[in-house]
Amino acid sequence: MKEEKEITEEVLKIPGDMLLEIFTILIKEGLKHEVIQVVQSRSLAIISVCYDKTIARTQKVVYNIQNILADYQHYRSWENEELNWREQ
C-alpha cells in the first residue's frame, strides 16, 4: 500500500536575531524552506516552510520552531514593560 504525502506550507515570521538558530534547525532537519520577504525596518524575515504532515518528526520540528518563536516573542514583550519593583 502506497502512502500519500500530505504537504503543508507554514509561514513563519522570524526576528533577525533568531534567524541563525531557525535556519540551523531547518537545514539540519532537511526541511524545504524559502525566504518570501525581508522587512528590514522591523528586522524580520518571512519564511515559508513546506513539510509532510504524515511524518511525525517533521511535524514536531515545525511545532518546536513555533514554540521557540512564541517564547521569544513573550520574552521580548516583557522587555518593553515598565515595572516598578518597589511597589511589589
Which domains, from first to last, does the chain contain?
7-79 (3.30.70)
Q: How do residues 15-57 score in pLDDT, each as one tens digit?
A: 999 999 999 999 999 999 999 999 999 999 999 999 999 999 9
Q: How do residues 50-67 score in pLDDT, each as one tens digit?
A: 999 999 999 999 999 999
- 31: exposed, middle or buried (Cβ count in 10 Å: 0-12, 13-18, 19+): middle
Q: Which residues contact 22 (CB under 8 A, 6 or more apart)?
A: 12, 14, 47, 65, 68, 69
Closest by CA position to 19, among listed 40, 51, 41, 47: 47
pTM (2 decimals)?
0.79
Q: What is the CA radius of gyration of the chain?
A: 17
Strand order through the sheet with 7-15: 7-15, 44-52, 32-39
